[in-house]
Structure 1
Amino acid sequence: MSKVAERIIGIDVARSLAMFGMLIINYSVITGAEGKGPSWLIKLTSLIEGRASALFVLLAGIGIALMTKRARESSKKEQLQKARISIWKRALLLFVLGMGLYVIGWTGDILHYYGFYLFFLTFFIGFKKRINIIIASVLIIVAQAIQLTYDMFTGWQPDALFMEYVDFWSISGFTRNLFINGYHPIFPWFAFILIGFVIGCYSLKDWRFQRNLLAIGFASLVIAESASVILIKQLTPVLTSEVAQFLFKTGPILPSLLYMLSAIGSSIIILVIILMVTEKARNFLLWKVIIASGQMTLTHYIGHIVIGLSILDILGRIENQQLPFIYIFSVGFYFGSVIFSVLWKLKFDRGPIEWLVRKLS
Structure 2
Amino acid sequence: MNFQPTTLNERVDSLDILRGFSLLGILLVNMFAFYLPMPHIDLGNWFTEAKDIIWHQTLDIYVQSSFYPLFSMLFGYGLAMQFMKAERTGISFYKFAPKRLVILLIIGLMHAFFIWWGDILTMYAFCGFFLILFLRFGSGWLLTFGFVINGIMQLFFIGIFALSGMANMEIEEQAVDITMINNAISAYGIGSWTDAFLQRLDDLSLQMGIAMWISSLLTILPYMLIGAAFAKWRLIERGKELKGFWITLTVICLALGLFIKSTPFLFTRTYLLDYLKVYVGGPILSIGYIGVVVCLCMIPVIPKLLKPLAKAGRMSLTLYLMQSIICTLIFYNFGFGLYGEVDVQMGTLIAIGIFVIQVIIAELWFIKFKQGPIELLVKKLTYR
TM-score for both structures, normalised by structure 2: 0.74
Rounded Cα–Cα distance in structure 2 between residues aligned with 1:231 and 1:267:
19
Rounded Cα–Cα distance in structure 2 between residues aligned with 1:132 and 1:289:
33
In the TM superposition, residue 306 of structure 1 has moved relative to its aligned partner by 1.8
The correspondence for 1:299, drawn from 315, 318, 326, is 318
Q: Cα deviations across residues 103-159 of structure 1 (Å, max 9, x unaligned)?
A: 126222110011012221111111011111111111012223454569xxxxxx962
1:287 is the counterpart of 2:287: no
> What does 1:196-345 correspond to in 2, within 5 Å?
196-203=227-234, 204-206=236-238, 207-216=240-249, 218-219=251-252, 242-246=270-274, 248-251=275-278, 255=279, 259=280, 262-282=281-301, 285-313=304-332, 314-345=335-366
**Match of 2:362, as an amino acid?**
S
The correspondence for 1:175, drawn from 207, 210, 216, is 210
> What does 1:7-46 correspond to in 2, within 5 Å?
7-32=11-36, 35=47, 37-38=51-52, 40-46=54-60
1:192 is the counterpart of 2:206: no
Seq. identity, %: 20
Q: Cα deviations across residues 188-230 of structure 1 (Å, max 9, x unaligned)?
A: 3211111011111123233343432443454456556667888
Rounded Cα–Cα distance in structure 2 between residues aligned with 1:200 and 1:12:
14
**Match of 1:97, as an amino acid?**
I
Q: Cα deviations across residues 270-322 of structure 1 (Å, max 9, x unaligned)?
A: 22221232242357653222211110110011111123211233332122421
- When residues 45 and 227 of structure 1 are mapped into structure 2, their CA distance, relative to the original with a 3 A threshold, is closer
Q: Cα deviations across residues 243-284 of structure 1 (Å, max 9, x unaligned)?
A: 3344x4312xxx4xxx2xx33322222222212322423576
**Aligned match of 1:153:** none
User: Which protein, 1 or 2, shows the higher relative CO under an 8 Å CA cutoff with sep ≥ 6?
Assistant: 2
Note if contact 2:146-2:225 (Cα within 8 Å) is conserved in structure 1: yes
Q: Cα deviations across residues 141-188 of structure 1 (Å, max 9, x unaligned)?
A: 2223454569xxxxxx96289999969669xx74332013xxxx1113
Rounded Cα–Cα distance in structure 2 between residues aligned with 1:83 and 1:111:
21
Rounded Cα–Cα distance in structure 1 between residues aligned with 2:350 and 2:204:
31
1:159 is the counterpart of 2:177: yes
The correspondence for 2:138, drawn from 102, 106, 128, is 128
**Aligned match of 1:108:** 118
**Match of 1:28, as an amino acid?**
F
Rounded Cα–Cα distance in structure 1 between residues aligned with 2:312 and 2:263:
40
**Aligned match of 2:372:** 351
Unmatched 5+ residue regions in structure 1?
151-156
Rounded Cα–Cα distance in structure 2 between residues aligned with 1:145 and 1:167:
30
The correspondence for 2:82, drawn from 54, 67, 92, is 67
How many residue pairs are counted as aligned between the two chains? 330
Rounded Cα–Cα distance in structure 2 between residues aligned with 1:271 and 1:132:
19
SS at match of 1:123: helix
